[in-house]
Amino acid sequence: MSNVPSLQITELAFAYPDGNQALYGVNLTIQKGERVALLGPNGAGKTTLVMHMNGIHPTMQGEVRISGELVDSKNKESLKAIRSKVGIVFQDPDDQLFMPTVGEDVAFGPYNMGLRGEALDKVVQEALTQVGMLDFIDRPPHHLSFGQRRRVAVATVLAMKPEILVLDEPSSNLDPASRRELADILRSLDITIVMVTHDLPYAFELCERSVILSGGIIVADGKTGQILNDEKLLKSHRLELPVGFSFN
Amino acid sequence: MSKIPILLLFKRALIEIPFVFFAILMPFFGEGEKFSIFGVMVYREGLLAGTSIVVKGTLGVLAAVILSTTTTAREILRGLEKLKLPMIMVQIASFMLRYINVISDEMERMKVARESRGFIATGIKHWKVLATAAAALFIRSYERGERVHLAMLSRGFDGALPSLDSHSVTTREWFTALSIPGLALIASITASLIGW
């Protein structure tokens, strides 16, 4: 088990029905427990890639494996298992939190996985405790602050005990304190993390390794510090560190 | 549960007034048999019809006010679920409850953005702008619906939302719930005994 990578993507290519090709042969392997930042300019295909990880987009060419298991969007049963292994936290928490209360929303995923009764309650409480939001279990989501909603959104996928946590722009719209709180939470989780982001300092803070996706292929893969120090590389893929920011 | 101040109940029931206004006028107009009450001539037919409208209306409004004051929207949804309203309708109502604030906030932001650029709707010539804004809001909401569905699929949604948990009903709650129908029953029995 220990040698099976959490995520293994080989030669993945994808074109939208209108002929617009988004991915041109992506190869990416992420080991268990790694935290990897997926960087890239707008329109690089980051979201398309993420949508392949849990079979929302059917694989056209190449393959995606989650801890060894092939993502096959035609096989309903295996797809269900895959979706419990890959937890995606979407950018807008209002899209993710659709149930009347925080507790019910966190219960949604594990419920679909077949958990009921006490076992379900326990999982919900654990997940909310992990993000420090247990006190809000009976609140409706629209009464929470944006940062709190983002944390609950993380809990909704943690409750499914995923093998790999995928976050789409986790730091967007967060105030500095919420941003740090979320970083602390993410660091405390013993789980494989893929973080899609434009926030390069945040990537540096949380992820040892970074990959750059640009024009539908992986153009760089290495230590975050090295990649972010390579100004030429960043610039050629429309990435820039904030003004006055440097790594030494 | 049943601790609604009478005054609040009364205030909320005031909404009924415009609706019963004409019912109150009814006894004074019409034709046929007339008789006098406290020196005022009223028509028998009109009095009966008017009283019946006022009574039905008041009972209906009181029932609605009590339901909405004592029961949260979520409890009402649970009730509907228990009453075997088709699942899909309960789900739609539940999504509406969740997103009504999100969408009204969005509408408010669009309004602020319009007004920040000097737009104030004053008359018919501004309807075009408002209609475009409504269309934009509709499309945004539709796209949000798509994203919500995507998020649901990602968490293993296969057509059934978890049913809402419900607690059992106590004898007291039964009595509270039956008080209004009880009153209605007494009213109708009394009416039939008097011979109306």
Domain range for A103 is 7-236
- Minimal C-alpha gap between B175 and chain A (Å): 28
Do B98 and A142 make contact, defined as CB atoms within 8 angstroms?
Answer: yes
User: Is it the case that residue B68 has pLDDT exceeding 60?
Assistant: yes
Q: Chain A to chain B, count of Cβ pairs less than 8 Å apart?
A: 72
- Indicate the pLDDT class of residue B181, thresholds 50, 70 and 90: confident
- Indicate the pLDDT class of residue B1, thresholds 50, 70 and 90: very low
Any domain includes A68: yes
Handedness of CA A167, A154, B136, B153 (dihedral sign): positive
pLDDT at residue number A109: 92
Interface ipTM: 0.81
Number of structural domains (chain A) is 1
Distance (Å) of CA A102 to CA A89, A114, A154, A156, B125: 15, 19, 12, 9, 44
> What letter represents residue B5's amino acid?
P
Searching chain A, which residue's CA lies closest to the CA of residue B160? A112
- Minimal C-alpha gap between A52 and chain B (Å): 11
Q: Which residue among A95, A141, A160 places its CB closest to the CB of B151?
A: A95
pLDDT at residue number B143: 93
> What letter represents residue A36's amino acid?
V
User: Is it the case that residue A113 has pLDDT exceeding 80?
Assistant: yes
Q: What is the mean pLDDT of residues A85-89?
A: 93
User: Is it the case that residue A93 has pLDDT exceeding 80?
Assistant: yes
- Minimal C-alpha gap between A83 and chain B (Å): 6
User: Is it the case that residue A1 has pLDDT exceeding 70?
Assistant: no
- Indicate the pLDDT class of residue B82, thresholds 50, 70 and 90: confident
Kindly list the residues from chain A whose CB atom is less than 8 angstroms away from the CB atom of residue B151: 88, 90, 95-96, 98
Q: What's the CATH number where A112 sits? A: 3.40.50.300
List pLDDT tens digits, range A208-226: 999 999 999 999 999 999 9
Domain boundary assignment for chain B: 6-70+167-194, 86-154
Strand A164-168 vs strand B34-37: parallel, antiparallel, or unpaired?
unpaired
> What letter represents residue B15's amino acid?
I
Any domain includes A245: no
User: Is it the case that residue B164 has pLDDT exceeding 70?
Assistant: no
User: Is it the case that residue A207 has pLDDT exceeding 50?
Assistant: yes
Do B155 and A112 make contact, defined as CB atoms within 8 angstroms?
Answer: yes
Kindly list the residues from chain A whose CB atom is less than 8 angstroms away from the CB atom of residue B158: 80, 112
Do A113 and B162 make contact, defined as CB atoms within 8 angstroms?
Answer: no
Do A109 and B155 make contact, defined as CB atoms within 8 angstroms?
Answer: yes
Give this prediction's pTM: 0.80
List pLDDT tens digits, range A144-168: 999 999 999 999 999 999 999 999 9
And the tokens for B46?
Answer: 């009109």
- Minimal C-alpha gap between B169 and chain A (Å): 20
A43 phi/psi in degrees, rounded to 5:
80, 15
pLDDT at residue number A248: 63
